[in-house]
Amino acid sequence: MAAVEKSVPVHLQGNGRPVAEERTLAQLEVVGAIPPELDGRYVRNGPNPLSGFSAHPFLGDGMLHGIRLRDGRAEWYRNRYVQTPFIRDPERDVLDPASAGDKTASKANTHVVGHAGRILALEEGHCPYVVDGNLETVGPTDFEGRLQGAFTAHPKICPVTGEMFAFGYSATPPYLRYLRVTADGRMVQTEDITVGGPTMMHDFNLTRNHVIFMDLPAVFDLSLAMRGDLPIRWDDDYPARLGVMPRDGSDADVRWYDINPCYVFHPMNAYEEDGRIVIDVARFSHIWRESAMDFPLPNFWRWTIDTRSGKVHEEQVDDRPAEFPRVADDRIGLKHRYGYMMGMTAAFGADPTRTSGTLLKYDRERGTSSELSLGRGCTPGEPVFAPAASATEEDGGYLMTFVHDADSDSSRFVIFDAASMDPTPVASVALPRIPSGFHGSWIPAAVAD
């Protein structure tokens, strides 16, 4: 690979380099065999600045990369920009107050989910964007006017009721708003929730009967925005706590539990058991204390809230750095045995040609883990679970992700056996280079086609 100029931000180097061309590729060659029961799309979102430059990883324009599977074939690969106002007007500034006041001014660059017959491209500061089955943009949605502010990039879809639970946060009051959407896509509940201040709340937690908010010490500082910087910083004086509320509750029903200072972008899952609420998370000791690129490496932790005593037990599960935790979608909010994470290299910016990317599987019942190594120079993304048709066990299914090979500077879509964690893929599809991104979903054709 060619040497990179020192002036290029680290997040735009290596496989962070954006791609300019939107492509449609058919007749894809498969090595191995795609399980014939997989009928749907694997779609992943990520920041891909149209101009080729972004000041921070969170500020690139949303680009979806998807692959359509049906009848044991990979029918197509597509990558498409989400057609937000920033694509129509590349000179528009995401940090401009006018953008903050426009709920359609989303970068739509963080996650993508299927719900109620629609595919939603998400970012946490604005409203969702609907895309069709070919990843073409339909347009923004405010749920028929019910959404008055932001919508999280990480809604939770209950596998029992089909409801979608969400929230939005803001740098100005109300700082937090809870949202509930019916299984057929109607927003039926909005509740303002009192928190300690203007905190960045990237994700939250769902159980069978409750939602759990994470009020943590990453707070808005508008003076940073005035300087053109990302307007969020670490505040050692801001208390860290978890807020537990019934799913159909209101602000008055929230019960708060203190925890040690930390930051969590992504929980793995949460569930209730015997008067306790168990939450598995990827935990950072802090973020953005010194600068907007100050990220220590995260680790797998478990929080156990004792709702009787009001105390939270905090336990580090693994000392290996890992992020992007997931469980099977049919375990969201329910007790899980297995969880999956993307292993991380020893330091941000480490040479990928000298390291081996890994996927981690945790057995929370036995307290064990297994590691799938992809080989030197190969870096995976977030592992997404898809169930096998004949599965009788929770891990009966497949892990999907895009893998980048630094030596060839190319990518491939891979499917691994989640039960065995065999490093030889069940199936692999060679693709053009797909830049590093954020989150994705397996969206069955039955959910959105």
DSSP string, 92-126: --TTSHHHHT-TT-----SEEEEETTEEEEE-SSS
Q: Are residues 314 and 180 in the same domain?
A: yes
Q: Is the dihedral of CA 87, 93, 98, 101 positive or negative?
A: positive
- DSSP assignment letter at 239: P
> Does a structural domain hold residue 418?
yes
Residue with the larger pLDDT of the pair 28 and 293: 28
How high is the pLDDT of residue 4?
Answer: 46
> Does a structural domain hold residue 187?
yes
Residue 95: pLDDT over 80: no
Structure tokens at 103: 């709920």
CB-neighbour burial class of residue 433 (10 A; exposed 0-12, middle 13-18, buried 19+): middle
Q: Are residues 308 and 375 in the same domain?
A: no
Q: Are residues 309 and 194 in the same domain?
A: yes
List C-alpha distances in Å: 186 to 59, 115, 158, 175: 29, 11, 15, 23
296 cis-preceded (ω within 30 degrees of 0) = no
CA distance 174 to 154: 19
pLDDT band at 107 (very low <50, low <70, confident <90, very high): very high
The rounded Cα 156 to chain-centroid distance in angstroms is 11
Beta bridge partners of 279: 270, 303
- Closest by CA to 379, choosing from 324, 317, 443, 319, is 324
**C-alpha neighbours within 13 Å on the C-beta side of residue 276:** 14
Single-letter amino acid code for the residue at 90: P
Domain count of the fold of the chain? 2
> Does a structural domain hold residue 311?
yes
Residue count of the chain: 449
Q: Are residues 106 and 135 in the same domain?
A: yes
Mean pLDDT, rounded, for 128-144: 98
Q: Are residues 113 and 37 in the same domain?
A: yes
Q: Are residues 191 and 293 in the same domain?
A: yes
- Name residues whose C-beta falls within 8 Å of residue 145's C-beta, 6 or more positions apart in sequence: none
The tokens 């070919």 sit on which residue? 134
Mean pLDDT, rounded, for 312-335: 98
Residue 64: pLDDT over 90: yes
> Does a structural domain hold residue 260?
yes
Q: Are residues 92 and 212 in the same domain?
A: no
> Does a structural domain hold residue 338?
no
- Name residues whose C-beta falls within 8 Å of residue 146's C-beta, 6 or more positions apart in sequence: 186, 187, 190
How high is the pLDDT of residue 155?
Answer: 98
> Does a structural domain hold residue 313?
yes
pLDDT band at 305 (very low <50, low <70, confident <90, very high): very high
Single-letter amino acid code for the residue at 81: Y
Last residue of a domain, one of 275, 300, 319: 319
Residue 404: pLDDT over 90: yes
174 cis-preceded (ω within 30 degrees of 0) = yes
**E strand residue ranges, 377-435:** 378-380, 384-387, 397-405, 410-417, 427-431
Last residue of a domain, one of 319, 335, 369: 319
Mean of all residue pLDDT scores within the chain: 94
> Does a structural domain hold residue 345?
no
The tokens 């679970």 sit on which residue? 385
pLDDT digits (tens, 9 = 90+) for 217-253: 999 987 776 676 778 999 999 999 999 999 999 999 9
Mean pLDDT, rounded, for 57-81: 97
Residue 122: pLDDT over 90: yes
- pTM for this prediction: 0.95
Last residue of a domain, one of 265, 294, 319: 319
Q: Are residues 196 and 128 in the same domain?
A: no
Q: Are residues 145 and 173 in the same domain?
A: no
> Does a structural domain hold residue 332?
no
Q: Are residues 34 and 130 in the same domain?
A: yes
* DSSP SS3 for 154: coil
- Closest by CA to 320, choosing from 275, 269, 371, is 371
The tokens 């500020």 sit on which residue? 59
Q: 139-148, 226-235, 407-416, 433-442: which has the minimum mean pLDDT?
A: 226-235
Q: Are residues 146 and 169 in the same domain?
A: no
Domain that includes residue 249, residue range: 163-319
Q: Are residues 74 and 179 in the same domain?
A: no
In this structure, are residues 201 and 213 in contact, taking their beta carbons and an 8 Å threshold?
yes
- Closest by CA to 272, choosing from 208, 337, 331, is 208
- Closest by CA to 36, choosing from 346, 292, 306, 390, is 390
pLDDT digits (tens, 9 = 90+) for 256-302: 999 999 999 999 999 999 999 999 999 999 998 887 777 899 999 99
CA distance 17 to 52: 8
